[in-house]
Amino acid sequence: MELFALIMAGGVGTRFWPKSRKQKPKQLLPILARRTLLEDTIERLEGLIPLEDTFIITTAEQLPVVKEAVASIPEENIVPEPEGRDTAPCIGLGVSLIAKRDPEATIAVLPADHHISPTKDFQRTLSAAASLAESSRGLITFGISPTYPATGYGYIHRGKHLKDFKEAKAFKVAEFKEKPDKKTAKRFLRSGEFYWNSGIFVWQVPTILSAIKEHLPSLYRGLETISASLGTSRQAETIRETYPHLPKISIDYGVLEKAKNVLVIEANYKWDDLGAWPALVRLRGADDEGNTILAKHIGIDTKDTLILAKEEHLVATIGTQGLIIIQTPDATLVVPKARAQEVKDLVEKMKEAGLKEYL
């Protein structure tokens, strides 16, 4: 069966403020290299999934920038959400678009803002997941073997071991676990039975639509309305009118945590969800003083500090430790590394203060 890609590219990436903005969010920035994260995601599929079988769900605000960034993707394959409704409606919309092309298609669902390497190992795991989805009629999740007791990720508790697919280990999912506290995360790590939930999925169209119908019937009814309009002159208007009334819920809460046919395949590659600024330290590394300097910098007694600024902008520090300093032309962020997740809350505070020009 043909393998399609559904890329979710509608997030704002508020934890990467001030670089990530509403009109040009994290996935449209060259965070790690010259290419944007969205371009990296598409490049990662080369040779496995054709560009004409790659679909992108984004936002109306980001649509022009996305189309410009990925001109190689057919324009009709890039569809905006009228408003953010979390991942269940986003995935439902994408699945409906692909089902119009192939009602039996196997779909890989991918966030646009992850760092994954090497590509060959990722493709091998993705191919194995597609085989598993087709043979088991299951909902396949990708589990990342934890390397430290992370408290910022949801976890997957693996159950019964299934036969390996193309050398990839596969298990029944026993249960999903919410983001744990430090003590619980350490227990998960010690047990060897838990994976980080990467938010990457593979399933066939009939399997996921059947699960949505059973567990989110209101979403399914909305998708039926949208599906009837696809390919007609009413498509854009129907999506615009129907989408805001769909339930605002994640695919994890709405479907996966309730379904019985959920399987997890062990990812055989390096993965980072680039959730907040400390991800740059993990991926770029640090010097002997623990500093990650991506700027013109001079300092005295500066340790364990991340600095990112324009090449022509000098950042000078004295006695800093455990800080993140991010400079853009119109805003500067200074935050302790330990509180990097709170940048999202800071963005909310800016919204309340009416500072729209900085969002």
- What mean pLDDT do residues 188-206 have? 97
Is residue 10 left, alpha or beta, with left meaning phi > 0 and alpha meaning psi from -120 to 50? alpha
CA-nearest of 159, 204, 221, 157 to 184 is 157
User: What was the pLDDT predicted at 12?
Assistant: 85
Q: In this predicted structure, which of 29-43, 80-94, 185-199, 340-354 has the lowest mean pLDDT? A: 29-43
pLDDT score at 295: 95
Using CB atoms within 10 Å of the CB of residue 156, give its burial: 0 to 12 exposed, 13 to 18 middle, 19+ buried.
buried
Q: Report domain extents, the chain.
A: 3-272, 278-358
In the chain the first and final C-alpha atoms are separated, in Å, by 43
Is residue 163's pLDDT more than 80? no
Sign of CA dihedral 59, 201, 208, 56: positive
Q: Which CATH number fits domain 3-272: 3.30.420.40, 1.10.1370.30, 3.40.50.300, 3.90.550.10?
A: 3.90.550.10
pLDDT by residue (tens digit) across 55-93?
A: 999 999 999 999 999 999 999 999 999 999 999 999 999
Mean of the per-residue pLDDT values for the chain? 95
d(CA 319, CA 324): 13
Q: Residue 1: pLDDT above 70? A: no
pLDDT digits (tens, 9 = 90+) for 93-131: 999 999 999 999 999 999 999 999 999 999 999 999 999
SS3 of 282, please?
A: helix
Look at residue 198 in the predicted model and tell me its pLDDT: 96
pLDDT (tens digit, 9 = 90+) per residue, 221-279?
A: 999 999 999 999 999 999 999 999 999 999 999 999 999 999 999 998 999 999 999 99
